[in-house]
Copies of this chain bind each other. A is one copy, B any other.
Amino acid sequence: MSFVDVIVRKRDGHPLSRAQIDEFVSGILDDTIPDYQASALLMAIVIRGMNPEETSWLTDAMVRSGERVDLSDIPGIKVGKHSTGGVGDKVSIVLAPAAAACGVIVPKMSGRGLGHTGGTLDKLESIPGFRVNLSTEEFKAALRDVGAAIVGQTASLAPADKVLYALRDVTGTVESIPLVASSIMSKKLAEGSDALVLDVKCGDGAFMKNEAEAHAVAAAMVTIATRAGIRAEAFITDMEAPLGCAIGNALEIRECLQTLRGGGPPDLAAMVTRFAARMVVLGGVEQDQAAAVARVETAIASGRALETFARMVQRQGGDPRIVDRPDLLAAAPSRDVIHANRAGVIDRMRAGLLGRASHALGAGRSEVGESIDHAVGLVVLARRGDRVEAGQPLIEIHHRDGRGLETARALCEAAVAIADQASPIRPKFLGEIRAS
């Protein structure tokens, strides 16, 4: 059977066999299948879909295209966490040490990626000296010592996914539930965790705008994990407004420190507690949800979460003094403020536009390898549902000598809507999917 016949099968709406999917994945990696055939098949997959079996086979083939981290010689249940990403999403940075402080092993790998704001790795790199590129041995040693480590994915994980994603990006074939789910899960499965907590964000500031799609991706990811023998739970969470108040790398680390001290914005703290509690259950530390929540709350209240974070920072080469002295983090030289143009209730605080504003200031990157400014960003001072007076400060802009300020101001102004009456706000937690 020639590869054109494989394309035609999917074009005509038929499922592919495991062998055909294996041929596809190995063929794009060793270049025996040309890009123009791969992109035709990708488009057919986007429009015709893939069933759960095909999606699992695709994921597995991408996992097998590279190395798989072997964490089996580290005692305990390793529980990973992944978020599809959003504006102000700093959950992992608080969550990993909080769960580790409860006795869970948290091997967290992040992709570098592009985006409105920096990613988890960029945020951590705003800590002086922090290294995200640990070798596998260093990573495992950190996990043994601290219980948590957050590092960059190595290029050897699921290399087929990288090739496929690059092609999808330029051929209009990104938006596909099986392709999105298998792309994420190929890397997660290669990371070698025993269990996973997945956060699928949806709304203005997320990759997925649509709640139904987010549910579908979450369900597909849990199914892939289950078929691969990994326990996984997925949450669908709101990303209409930013998570927490800080957007921008060092600003977000400051907010993480507040949250690890038991303060921080309530939405961020609630999300950390909920995810950490599930990791405590999946990690076998507690059987009961209420006990798991109590354990997490204690870990934070007792200072053990913050202490674990300090050890994680130190173990990865960062300056642990920042824990007590956030002033050692980079700070932008200049500030500007967006004020309320009328009195009323904050009706919208659109995450997507705020993310673009932060990007305009220099906090994110448009191209791989571009450098970013760790100091700049935004701090949201008034949140959805808050009643404000005309002229009240709404958003603080941290900028470097006016770079991107005009654009950022315009985007921030567009992001805010003030109404006479508070309209209903969608809850942060929109759904939860566990393997049946």
Could you list which residues of chain A lie within 8 angstroms of chain B, going by C-beta atoms?
A: 4-5, 7-8, 11, 34-44, 46-48, 167, 170-173, 175
A43/B172 in contact, CB under 8 A: no
A40/B42 in contact, CB under 8 A: yes
Q: Which of B11, B38, B42, B170 contacts A4 (CB 8 A)?
A: B170
In the bound complex, what is the Cα–Cα distance between A43 and B167 (angstroms)?
Answer: 15
Residue pairs across A and B with Cβ atoms less than 8 A apart, 21 shown, are A4-B171, A4-B172, A8-B175, A11-B43, A11-B173, A34-B35, A34-B170, A36-B38, A36-B170, A39-B39, A39-B40, A39-B43, A40-B171, A40-B172, A40-B173, A41-B43, A41-B172, A43-B44, A43-B47, A44-B172, A47-B48
B47/A44 in contact, CB under 8 A: yes
Nearest B-chain residue to A5, judged by Cβ: B172
By a CB distance below 8 angstroms, the chain B residues around A37 are: 39, 170-172
With both chains docked as a complex, state the minimum distance between the C-beta of A349 and any C-beta of chain B, in angstroms. Answer: 28
Q: Which of B5, B36, B172 contacts A8 (CB 8 A)?
A: B172
With both chains docked as a complex, state the minimum distance between the C-beta of A91 and any C-beta of chain B, in angstroms. Answer: 31
In the bound complex, what is the Cα–Cα distance between A5 and B170 (angstroms)?
Answer: 10
In the bound complex, what is the Cα–Cα distance between A37 and B172 (angstroms)?
Answer: 8
In the bound complex, what is the Cα–Cα distance between A170 and B173 (angstroms)?
Answer: 19
Nearest B-chain residue to A172, judged by Cβ: B7
Q: Which of B11, B36, B42, B172 contacts A47 (CB 8 A)?
A: B11
By a CB distance below 8 angstroms, the chain B residues around A35 are: 34-36
In the bound complex, what is the Cα–Cα distance between A4 and B44 (angstroms)?
Answer: 16
With both chains docked as a complex, state the minimum distance between the C-beta of A8 and any C-beta of chain B, in angstroms. Answer: 4
By a CB distance below 8 angstroms, the chain B residues around A36 are: 35-36, 38-39, 167, 170-171
By a CB distance below 8 angstroms, the chain B residues around A173 are: 11, 40
By a CB distance below 8 angstroms, the chain B residues around A4 are: 170-172
In this complex, the member of A8, A35, A47 whose beta carbon has the largest number of chain B beta carbons within 10 angstroms is A47
By a CB distance below 8 angstroms, the chain B residues around A44 are: 43, 47, 172
With both chains docked as a complex, state the minimum distance between the C-beta of A163 and any C-beta of chain B, in angstroms. Answer: 12
In the bound complex, what is the Cα–Cα distance between A44 and B40 (angstroms)?
Answer: 8
Nearest B-chain residue to A48, judged by Cβ: B47
By a CB distance below 8 angstroms, the chain B residues around A172 are: 4-5, 7-8, 11, 37, 40-41, 44
Which 10 A-B residue pairs are closest in the complex by CB-CB distance?
A: A7-B172, A43-B43, A40-B171, A35-B36, A36-B39, A8-B172, A39-B40, A40-B43, A36-B36, A4-B172
By a CB distance below 8 angstroms, the chain B residues around A38 are: 36
In the bound complex, what is the Cα–Cα distance between A5 and B169 (angstroms)?
Answer: 11
Nearest B-chain residue to A46, judged by Cβ: B11
By a CB distance below 8 angstroms, the chain B residues around A8 are: 172, 175
In the bound complex, what is the Cα–Cα distance between A39 and B172 (angstroms)?
Answer: 11
In the bound complex, what is the Cα–Cα distance between A43 and B41 (angstroms)?
Answer: 8
Nearest B-chain residue to A176, judged by Cβ: B11
By a CB distance below 8 angstroms, the chain B residues around A47 are: 11, 43-44, 47-48
By a CB distance below 8 angstroms, the chain B residues around A39 are: 36-37, 39-40, 43
Nearest B-chain residue to A13, judged by Cβ: B47
With both chains docked as a complex, state the minimum distance between the C-beta of A99 and any C-beta of chain B, in angstroms. Answer: 39
By a CB distance below 8 angstroms, the chain B residues around A167 are: 36
In the bound complex, what is the Cα–Cα distance between A273 and B35 (angstroms)?
Answer: 49
With both chains docked as a complex, state the minimum distance between the C-beta of A89 and any C-beta of chain B, in angstroms. Answer: 26
With both chains docked as a complex, state the minimum distance between the C-beta of A179 and any C-beta of chain B, in angstroms. Answer: 13
By a CB distance below 8 angstroms, the chain B residues around A7 are: 43, 171-172
Give 4 A-B pairs besides A4-B171, A5-B172, A40-B171 with Cβ atoms closer than 8 angstroms: A11-B172, A36-B167, A37-B171, A39-B43
